[in-house]
Amino acid sequence: MTTVNSTTSKTAEDVYNAVGGRKETKTSASTAEDLESRFLTLLMTQIKNQDPLNPLDNAQVTSQLAQLNMVTGIESLNSTMTKLLDGYAEAQGMQAAGMIGKNVMVAGNNLPLVSSKAYASINLEGKADKVTVTIKDSSGKTVQTQELGEQAAGQFFFAWDGKDAEGNVLKDGMYTFSVKAATLTGTEVKATTSQIGTVSAVTRTSSGFVLDMGDLGDVAFQDVQKIL
């Protein structure tokens, strides 16, 4: 497992190479050419040593040649798929490396407060006439409640200035938030939350690239919803 932290002098390609994004692929000894050569050698040996009184018939030879074509076709397909997958992995690695130092959005309800500023995202399944955000500290105590009013269906962002209900400035740190949305008739509108953080490092694991988002923890590259 390789990890690369954020630097100002490295390009995305440099970072990608550092985390082991590029790797040499070894050519399998069982290539289509090798299979064909071995198959023909065995076939010629079989013909040379056949019983003159009971030679191979045309159906047997044709059947074996058909098997050869099938094997070489599968080998060619496997080779093509390997190249496609390698190309996809390289492109994904370059994208992941390019995220270092950038803000990204992932699913979650954490609200990191930095320099009295915090941002998050909410997605509504339908139009809501009332949207309420409740912010809590690490002990689970409610410190602020925001009324965001009417909101259309879809995604939108909200900001928090780091102050509690009495207007006191709270310490920077990790907070959480929850959302309740409803129509004028009181019908609940489903809301999902997303947290925003900065990528500080990229790690390559056996299952793919992982982004280190500091206090928000590690996030799989494929779980990133948006780059901000």
DSSP string of 104-156? EEEE--EEEEBTTBEEEEEEESS-BSEEEEEEE-TTS-EEEEEE---B-SEEE
Instruction: With beta carbons less than 8 A apart as the criterion, state whether 120 and 114 touch.
Output: no
Structure token digits, residue 60: 């047997």
Instruction: With beta carbons less than 8 A apart as the criterion, state whether 213 and 198 touch.
Output: yes
Q: Give burial (CB, 10 Å; 0-12/13-18/19+) of 104.
A: buried
For 130, what's the count of Cα atoms within 13 Å in the CB-facing half-sphere? 10
Instruction: With beta carbons less than 8 A apart as the criterion, state whether 181 and 213 touch.
Output: no
Nearest to 182 by CA among 151, 209, 218: 151
> What's the Cα-to-Cα distance from 92 to each of 9, 56, 58, 102, rounded to whole Å?
21, 53, 51, 16
pLDDT at 163: 96
Instruction: With beta carbons less than 8 A apart as the criterion, state whether 209 and 145 touch.
Output: no
pLDDT at 221: 84
Nearest to 125 by CA among 147, 149, 151, 105: 151
pLDDT at 149: 93
What are the extents of the domains in the chain?
10-97, 103-198
Class of the CATH domain delimited by 103-198: mainly beta
pLDDT tens digits for the chain (228 residues)? 655 565 554 555 565 565 555 544 444 445 656 766 776 677 667 666 665 556 555 566 667 666 666 666 666 656 666 666 555 556 666 666 777 888 999 999 999 999 999 999 999 999 999 999 999 999 999 999 999 999 999 999 999 999 999 999 999 999 999 999 999 999 999 999 999 999 988 888 777 788 899 889 998 888 989 888
pLDDT at 129: 97
d(CA 217, CA 5): 14
Strands 154-160 and 218-220, how do they pair? unpaired
Instruction: With beta carbons less than 8 A apart as the criterion, state whether 227 and 102 touch.
Output: yes
